[in-house]
Every structure is written in C-alpha cells, then in structure tokens.
C-alpha cells in the first residue's frame, strides 16, 4: 500500500500549480492554475496543465482542493472540470474568485466552501485546512492524512505577524501536527533565494502614506487584481487623505466586488466613484487603482500610458505607482509601460525605486521556520523555478533533513511513500496545454516554432498555377510579410519569380507530382534568399493545377 505524489505543474516554473495524491487507487487534486505566455509562446492566451493523467482516471478523482484564489492556482479549474467533473472545496473567497472563469465558460460545478480548521473525509484521505498568511485572504495550507502518515502542503505562505486582516498563520496547529508526526512537507519555494524573513504587508502602508502626502496631483496605483490586502491598504490610505477611489480594469472590478460582498474588503461609504464621475473631482483628490502591473498590452494602465484610454488621460504632475514586481518574463513589457508613462510626463514609482510592494511568499528564514515547525521526515520543494527548488532543498538539509530524504522533482515525477521508505517511482509523460482563442490543445511544437519563425524572419507566400498539357505556368505571384523593406523586396522579387518558373518547367518536364514540385520550389527559394540576404523566412507555396483554377 503506497501513497503517491506528483505535480502536473508548478515545478521548475512560476505558475500552472497542480498537485496530485494517489492512495488506495483514489485521487486528490490540489489546485489547477494557469501560467501566462511569454515570447516563446506567441499567440497563446493561457498555458494550463496537461490533464490527460486525470482524465484517464476521472472516475477515481475524489475532489479538487483549492488553496487560494490566485490565477496560478485556480485559473485552469474550468478547463479541468470540463473533463474531470469532481467536487471542489475551498474557502468562500477562493471559490468566489474562481467562479468568474467558471461562469465565463458556462461550466456547471459542485463547489463547497470550507474554513480554516475544517476537516474533510474523502475516501482514504482525511484533509485538514490550515490557516496561512499570503497576499490574498482565505489562503490555506493542507494536512493530508492517510494510514501511512500526514503530508503537509504549506500553500503559498509567509510568517506575517501583522497581516492586514489580522488572520495570522496558525503556528500552534502546525506545531501540533509536528508532534503527531509529519511524513512529508511540500513547501512553497518561490523566494528561497532571498535571505531573512519576508516583510509584513503593513510595511507598504507607511510607503503609501508618504506617497499620498507628497503627490501633488492624481495618483494611479497598479497591482495584481487578486491582491485584496494591497487593495485594502490603498483604499484605507486614500480615505485617510480624503481622496476618492476609482477601480479601473475588468478583473479588478470583479475581485473588488467579490471581496466586498464576502466581507474581506472594507470600503468606507462614499469612497468609490465611477469613471464618468472623474471630471467632477479635483485631480489632487482622486486615486485610481488599475490593472496592468505586468505591462499587459491590453490592460488599463498600458492604454493610459500610450494615451489610448478613452476616459483616463495623464497630465504632468500625476504619480503612477507600481505596487507589484514583474513576473519573470514580463520585465520588458513592464519597462516599456514605464517608459511610456514617463513620456506622458508622469512621475513613476517602480522597481528598484519603490518600496510599494512586498512579496506574499516567504523568504529563506520563513521556509526554515516552516521546516522547524513541522519537522517532516521527507521534504519536497514545490512552487518555483528549478533554482528555487534547489535553494529550498539546501535549506532543508541545513535544518537537518538528510539529502536522501529531500526530493527535487520535475513535473510528472512520481514519489512513492511506503512504510519506512520513499523513492522516485518513475514519471508520467506530460506536456503543457495551450488556450489559444476558443481551442485548448497541446499546440504541437512545430506550430509554436512556426510562429516564432514568422515573428523573427517574416514570411514569403508564393501562389501559382501550372497546366501540364500546355506546359504553361500562370504567375507566379510572390508576397512578402514582415520580411524586407518594400524597396529591397521589389528588387529581389523578379529574380525569385524567374527562378520559380525555371524550377516549375523542370518539374513539368519530369512530370513530378504536385507535392514534389512544391518542395523543389520551396528549397530553391530558401537557398537563393539565404545566399543573397542571409535570412530564412517561412516560405509557403500554394501550387495548383490549372483545371482546379478553372
């Protein structure tokens, strides 16, 4: 009788967090998150885990447990439920934040709210929800108990002794579980490289107060839409400085609505205003909280920065505050947005020049304290890029856990726990799935390579018809997109046309099949273009028989 653990996402990457536990041939799923695309995935909207392992075992999946409402933990839930319709458990605000995407896709779901301290009995599993502190309310860790022992998943956490909502991590319960015996700790490793303890969220309040005190005109603050604690800090400070607050950005409006409805966000009456009311208030009496902290091209802040927002226009003396760090891969987008804001003559507080953000993930000392609290027999670092996992594993060894009892895993690796032993049993083959428009697919690597190729080298499209009986060639037409400046393209175009005619005449003379003709034309164009221009554009050849044309 073995307990098995594997991750379908979240190891060696930031995002796409999804863990699976198997015991007595029954499965528990923890979280179902998304990862956002980067320059390696052009045209992709979202990246989600590969669910095929769970789909093959869908009748055995007992439940999906959600630790908190961030997109990297709940964003893929509707796509999972389309294929694996299991019951879902999470705190009320976590379910409220997840419900937006569920409704967008018209998914029916069976959701049950829980509170920290609750215990669920699910088949051979007993699951206790543990209060932890993060940057969103209702965040929990999990104690997953089986007859083989207890596995603790920290969830996203830090040891904040002065949290905004007063809900501190339940140190006593973690310590009690330790006394009962912890088989394995799965620990958030995002900030394992950073020394010390993660600062308290309250530290940001003093920074906001100083900004609000010195800003001469309007203030615009951008943060993660789901960072409810940060939003509360901004609104509280705005009220203290007698400023009205505008919430701008669809995702932000939705989060504020859910958090306020459930009592997690306290907004003084009369503080919020609508976009159409902006002109009624002096600029020095308004704060705008907006999306776009990651430089997303279509976000509200990006449109403000480029002067394309229909209702919000920057003026000299306005102050823009980035209250979030860039997710790895978004640095260029954020820098472009900052540049555009400076072009609009705004004062921008960002990155190394700002203390208006603290992380919701614990630093190295937080991780060591979690290990010391739980005293697990085995340790598995999760939630982080590979270097974060390695750093976290080294912290565990510093805390006295033997190297042989620490597992640094890749997505798909299976760890098997049996009485007195744990080992990597093997791995399942998984690949990321891509949400691309209305489709969800694994988007064969060739498709992504072609997209990257087109973006880097451009595309050449050839259209021509042949008549074998008359040995006649109609065309060819050659079009360039994203390839060369028009003047240079026109200079080479006629030469390429003559080469295509020569190759096709040879093909007709040898009576080659149509596909063989296409390949010879493509190879000839590739060779000539590289020889003359040292470029390798994507070449599309559309070659038809004349009778098809007629």
Q: Is residue 361 annotated as part of the catalytic site, yes or no?
A: yes
Residue reference for tokens 């543990």: 130
Active-site position among 361, 366, 388, 413: 361
Active-site position among 188, 248, 325, 413: 188
CA distances from 183 to 65, 114, 149, 365, 389 (A): 20, 24, 5, 22, 19
Task: Give the residue among 403, 397, 11, 392 at the shortest CA–CA distance from 193.
Answer: 392
Give the span between the Cα atoms of 385 and 190, in whole angstroms.
7
CA atoms within 13 A on the CB side of 320: 30
**429 SS3 class:** coil
Task: Give the residue among 198, 170, 203 at the shortest CA–CA distance from 364.
Answer: 198
Residue reference for tokens 């596909």: 515
Task: Give the residue among 284, 285, 327, 290 at the shortest CA–CA distance from 312.
Answer: 290
- Element holding 450 (H helix, E strand): helix 445-457
Give the span between the Cα atoms of 305 and 300, in whole angstroms.
9
Residue reference for tokens 């203030």: 219
Task: Give the residue among 210, 226, 189 at the shortest CA–CA distance from 101.
Answer: 226
Evaluate whether 248 touches 291 at the Cβ level (below 8 Å).
yes
Give the span between the Cα atoms of 314 and 306, in whole angstroms.
10
Rg, the chain, Cα only: 28
Record the tokens describing residue 406, joined without a space: 């620490």
- Strands (DSSP E) along 31-124, which ranges? 46-48, 61-65, 88-90, 111-113, 119-122
Which of the 8 DSSP states describes residue 201?
A: T
Record the tokens describing residue 361, joined without a space: 């993930």
Helix, strand, coil shares, percent, the chain, to 5 = 35, 25, 40
Q: Which residues does the annotation mark as catalytic?
A: 188, 361
């Amino acid at each position: 009788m073995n307990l098995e653990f594997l991750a379908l996402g979240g190891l060696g990457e930031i995002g796409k967090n999804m863990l699976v536990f198997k015991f007595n041939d029954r499965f528990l799923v923890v979280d179902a998150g998304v990862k956002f695309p980067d320059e390696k995935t052009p045209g992709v909207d979202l990246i989600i885990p590969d669910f095929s392992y769970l789909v093959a075992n869908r009748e055995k999946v007992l439940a999906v447990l959600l630790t908190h409402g961030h997109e990297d933990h709940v964003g893929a839930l509707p796509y999972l439920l389309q294929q694996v319709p299991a019951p879902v458990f999470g705190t009320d605000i976590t379910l409220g934040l997840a419900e937006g995407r569920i409704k967008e896709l018209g998914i029916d779901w069976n959701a049950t709210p829980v509170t920290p301290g609750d215990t669920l009995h699910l088949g051979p599993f007993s699951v206790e929800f543990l209060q932890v502190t993060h940057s969103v309310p209702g965040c929990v860790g999990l104690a997953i108990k089986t007859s083989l022992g207890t596995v603790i998943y920290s969830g996203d956490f830090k040891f904040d002794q002065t949290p905004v909502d007063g809900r501190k991590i339940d140190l006593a319960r973690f310590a009690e579980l330790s006394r009962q015996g912890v088989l394995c700790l799965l620990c958030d490793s995002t900030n394992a490289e950073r020394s010390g303890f993660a600062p308290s969220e309250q530290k940001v309040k003093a920074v906001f107060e100083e900004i609000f005190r010195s800003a001469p005109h309007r203030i615009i603050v951008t943060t993660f839409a789901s960072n409810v604690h940060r939003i509360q800090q901004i609104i509280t400070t705005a009220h203290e400085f007698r400023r009205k607050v505008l919430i701008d950005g669809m995702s932000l409006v939705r989060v504020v609505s859910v958090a306020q409805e459930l009592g997690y966000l306290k907004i003084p009456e009369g503080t919020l205003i609508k976009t159409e009311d902006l002109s009624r208030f002096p600029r020095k009496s308004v704060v705008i909280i907006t999306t776009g902290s990651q430089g997303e091209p279509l976000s509200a802040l990006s449109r403000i920065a480029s002067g394309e927002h229909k209702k919000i226009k920057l003026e000299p003396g306005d102050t823009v505050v980035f209250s979030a760090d860039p997710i790895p891969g978004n640095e260029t987008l954020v820098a472009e947005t900052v540049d555009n804001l400076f072009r609009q003559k705004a004062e921008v507080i960002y990155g190394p020049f700002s203390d208006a953000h603290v992380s919701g993930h614990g630093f190295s000392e937080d991780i060591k304290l979690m290990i010391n609290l739980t005293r697990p027999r085995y340790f598995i670092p999760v939630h982080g890029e590979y270097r974060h996992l390695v750093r976290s594993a080294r912290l565990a060894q510093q805390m006295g856990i033997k190297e042989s009892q620490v597992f640094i895993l890749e997505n798909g690796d299976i760890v098997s726990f049996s009485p007195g032993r744990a080992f990597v049993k093997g791995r399942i083959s998984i690949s990321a799935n891509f949400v691309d428009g209305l489709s969800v697919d694994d988007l064969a690597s060739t498709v992504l390579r072609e997209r990257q190729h087109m973006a880097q080298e451009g595309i050449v499209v050839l259209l021509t018809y042949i008549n074998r009986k008359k040995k006649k060639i109609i065309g060819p037409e050659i079009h360039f997109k994203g390839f060369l400046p028009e003047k240079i393209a026109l200079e080479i175009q006629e030469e390429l046309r003559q080469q295509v005619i020569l190759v096709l005449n040879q093909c007709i003379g040898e009576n080659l099949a149509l596909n063989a003709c296409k390949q010879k034309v493509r190879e000839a164009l590739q060779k000539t273009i590289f020889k003359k221009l040292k470029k390798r554009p994507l070449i599309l050849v559309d070659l038809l028989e004349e009778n098809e044309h007629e």
